[in-house]
Amino acid sequence: MATRGFFGMRPSAETAKRLPPGQHLTPDFPVLSFGPTPRVDLATWRFTLKAGAKPLASWSWDEFQALPQTEWQGDIHCVTTWSKFNTAWRGVSLDDLFAAAGITPPTPFLLAQSFDDYTTNVPLADVIGGKAMIATHFGGEPLAPEHGGPARLLVPHLYFWKSAKWVNGLKFTERDEAGFWELRGYHMYGDPWREQRFSDDP
């Protein structure tokens, strides 16, 4: 199929149904990071669950690889208006992660934390019940560093800035605490189907 003029093409009815308002389809996988790609060493990599400042559980890279694996295929939507269909991911679901830690999530919100000091907030309800994973593989390959490898959060039903790259932990919080982009004017929740791009969007 020719790709010339791809962006000018009117989407098919099927495509249009799958595109949230204000989005267009891209065959590419753009890279969006606020800074340089951090170098993450697997020998020292750790993933930690915390309640406030208190550590609840933590895994080395090898321990993390031994956790149950989940696969998910579907569409992702970036607030900069591109959407990508049929992306394929593998990793550890947050349900399995919390079960492996032997915890019941203690608060209704969490903040994902990353090696580049990025943070983003999500309600607990949006990451349980099979809705989110810590992804380590994309398209059958280890996740590329520029896309968040070795591991990133994947919350595909929210705008993609909620899918923190280079994650090293999740912090449970009592309140919905704004993360990096949420402090800079992005919406606290970020539902693409309700077009919740900026903080003053309903």
Residue number, nearest CB to ligand MTE: 118
Is 172 an interacting residue with respect to ligand MTE (CB under 6 A)?
no
Residues 112-141 that bind ligand MTE (CB under 6 A): 114, 116, 118
H or E element, residue 98: helix 94-101
Residue type, 155: V
Radius of gyration (Cα) for the chain, nearest Å? 17
Instruction: Identify the residue whose tokens are 């039903």.
Output: 157
Closest to Mo ion by CB, 32 or 125? 32
Is 9 an interacting residue with respect to ligand MTE (CB under 6 A)?
no
Is 99 an interacting residue with respect to Mo ion (CB under 5 A)?
no
Is 59 an interacting residue with respect to ligand MTE (CB under 6 A)?
no
* Token duo for residue 52: 């406030």
Is 33 an interacting residue with respect to ligand MTE (CB under 6 A)?
yes
Is 31 an interacting residue with respect to ligand MTE (CB under 6 A)?
yes
Degrees to nearest 5, angle at CA 158 with 26 and 123: 165
Is 183 an interacting residue with respect to Mo ion (CB under 5 A)?
no
H or E element, residue 152: strand 152-154
Closest to ligand MTE by CB, 70 or 119? 119
The option from ligand MTE, Mo ion, none interacting with 165 (CB < 5 to 8 A, set by class) reads ligand MTE
Tell me the per-residue interface mask from 131 to 170 with Mo ion, x by CB under 5 A, - otherwise.
------------------------------x---------
Tell me the per-residue interface mask from 17 to 56 with Mo ion, x by CB under 5 A, - otherwise.
---------------x------------------------
* Token duo for residue 183: 């402090």
State the first-to-last Cα distance of the chain, in angstroms, to the nearest integer. 39
Residue 59 Cβ vs ligand MTE, minimum distance, rounded to whole Å: 19
Residue 160 Cβ vs ligand MTE, minimum distance, rounded to whole Å: 4
Please report the DSSP string for 22-88 in residue order. Answer: T-EE-SS-----SSPPPP--TTT-EEEEEETTEEEEEEEHHHHHTSPPEEEEEEEE-TTSEEEEEEE
For residue 93, the SS3 value is strand
Footprint of Mo ion (CB under 5 A): 32, 161
